[in-house]
């Protein structure tokens, strides 16, 4: 209760007229970094690798996807996951951490991607319950580092209806943590930065650049890829997407729309 009161005091609701959401790990995994989601699937399925090996495979796949046009504009999130896990398994085989001769190896990519996709579906359905309420009160914009297929992903999950505009790094040519990508989101809302709240899972990529523009920020702080300074904070720090209802006092807050 004390923590909740502190959050409400830190976030000035009287200034809030519009919201900017991050996508990956904010809406689709409830603040949990996708490397951690994937690793949990590896463990549950029983992929015989150590976490250190997985982390190297994850980094390899992300860098490869950033440099090569593997992800096509029409790819759904399941297709993105299949591409990611396929590259990860390939790296693990090439580096002797998985056996190509083991019949199970050929099944790992599909099994991991299927489990992670189901996790995303379940998480997003819960997030929609909150987005429905926020959408009634505020204009929402999405700002995301993605591969050029975010609209196909949002359509697949039934999320596109919530956002008046989508700002995607692969389309606009600017990536987080550059504050310029959030400036585009603020511009899309047609509001001063002081009247905008940014909601994201990463302090470095979401919270810090948003605050540098004068926006308020809500940090959904889940299991992170890298250890973070415990002193870092935001106007509100929460640990579950559903807590946004309390942060924005959805039970008694009137619409922020003009």
* pLDDT score recorded for residue 4: 42
- Cβ(81)–Cβ(113) below 8 Å: yes
Alpha helices (H) along 138-176? 150-157, 169-172
User: Tens of pLDDT along 98-129?
Assistant: 999 998 999 999 999 999 999 999 999 999 99
* CA dist list (Å): 190 to 177, 198, 248: 22, 15, 21
* CA dist list (Å): 98 to 31, 38, 49, 93, 94: 30, 17, 7, 5, 8
CATH topology of domain 2-32+123-247: Rossmann fold (3.40.50)
All residue ranges of the chain with pLDDT < 70 are 1-9, 225-230, 251-258
65 φ, ψ to 5°? Answer: -65, -30
pTM: 0.91
Q: Any idea where the domains of the chain sit in the sequence?
A: 2-32+123-247, 34-119
* pLDDT score recorded for residue 6: 41
**CA-CA distance, 154 to 164, in Å (whole number)?**
13
Taking the alpha carbons at both ends of the chain, their separation in whole angstroms is 32
* pLDDT score recorded for residue 7: 41
* pLDDT score recorded for residue 235: 94
Which of 240, 197, 229 shows the shortest CA–CA distance to 215?
197
DSSP 15: G
């Amino acid at each position: 209760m004390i923590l909740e009161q502190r959050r409400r005091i830190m976030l000035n609701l009287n200034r809030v007229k519009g919201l900017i959401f991050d996508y990956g790990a904010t809406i689709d995994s409830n603040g949990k970094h996708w490397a951690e989601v994937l690793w949990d699937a590896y463990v549950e399925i029983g992929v015989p690798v150590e976490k250190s090996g997985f982390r190297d495979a994850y980094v390899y796949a992300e860098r490869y996807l950033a440099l090569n046009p593997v992800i096509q504009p029409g790819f759904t999130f399941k297709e993105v996951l299949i591409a990611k896990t396929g590259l990860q398994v390939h790296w693990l085989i090439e580096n002797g951490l998985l056996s190509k001769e083991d019949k199970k190896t050929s099944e790992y990519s599909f099994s991991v991607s299927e489990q992670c996709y189901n996790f995303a579906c379940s998480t997003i359905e819960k997030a929609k319950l909150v987005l429905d309420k926020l959408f009634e009160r505020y204009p929402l914009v999405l700002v995301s580092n993605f591969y050029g297929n975010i609209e196909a992903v949002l359509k697949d999950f039934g999320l596109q209806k919530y956002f008046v505009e989508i700002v995607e790094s692969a389309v606009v040519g600017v990536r987080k943590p550059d504050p310029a990508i959030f400036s585009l989101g603020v511009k899309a809302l047609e509001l001063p930065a002081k009247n905008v709240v940014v909601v994201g899972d990463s302090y470095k990529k979401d919270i810090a650049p948003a605050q540098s523009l004068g926006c308020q920020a809500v940090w959904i702080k889940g299991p992170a890829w890298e250890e973070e300074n415990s002193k870092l904070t935001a106007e509100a720090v929460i640990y579950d997407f559903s807590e946004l209802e309390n942060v924005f006092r959805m039970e008694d807050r009137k619409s922020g729309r003009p």
